[in-house]
Amino acid sequence: MIDKISQLINEYYIDPILHDSGYNIVNTVTWAIILGICIFGIVKLLRKMNVNITDRLTASVIPFILAGSSLRVIEDTGVLEPPISYLFITPNIYFLVFLITVIFLIIAKVVSKAANKGFETVFALLGSAWFVVNIAYLLYLEDIVRPWVPIFVIASAGVLLYLIYLIFRRSGSEIFTNRLNLSILGVHLLDASSTFAGVDFLGYYEKHVVPALLIDLTGTALVMYPLKLLIFLPVIYILDTQFEEDEDSKTLKTFLKLVIIMLGLAPACRNTIRMMLGV
Same structural domain, 128 and 227: no
pLDDT recorded at residue 245: 73
Same structural domain, 194 and 248: yes
8 A C-beta contact, residue 6 and residue 14: no
Same structural domain, 263 and 276: yes
Same structural domain, 85 and 162: no
pLDDT recorded at residue 25: 86
Range of the domain at 178: 146-279
Question: What would you report as the CA-atom Rg of the chain, rounded to the nearest whole angstrom?
Answer: 19
Mean pLDDT by 10 residues, the chain (279 residues): 78 80 81 84 86 89 96 94 88 91 92 83 95 97 96 97 95 90 96 97 90 94 96 94 77 91 95 96
Torsion of CA 157, 264, 101, 237, to 10 degrees: 100
Torsion of CA 252, 130, 19, 25, to 10 degrees: 20
Same structural domain, 43 and 61: no
Same structural domain, 42 and 58: no
pLDDT recorded at residue 161: 97
How many domains, in total, are found in the chain?
3
Last residue of a domain, one of 142, 176, 206: 142
pTM to 2 decimal places: 0.92
Same structural domain, 279 and 194: yes
Same structural domain, 242 and 273: yes
Same structural domain, 136 and 13: no
Same structural domain, 105 and 233: no
pLDDT recorded at residue 228: 96
Same structural domain, 243 and 217: yes
8 A C-beta contact, residue 243 and residue 253: yes
Same structural domain, 278 and 169: yes
Q: Phi/psi at 48 (nearest 5 deg)?
A: -65, -30
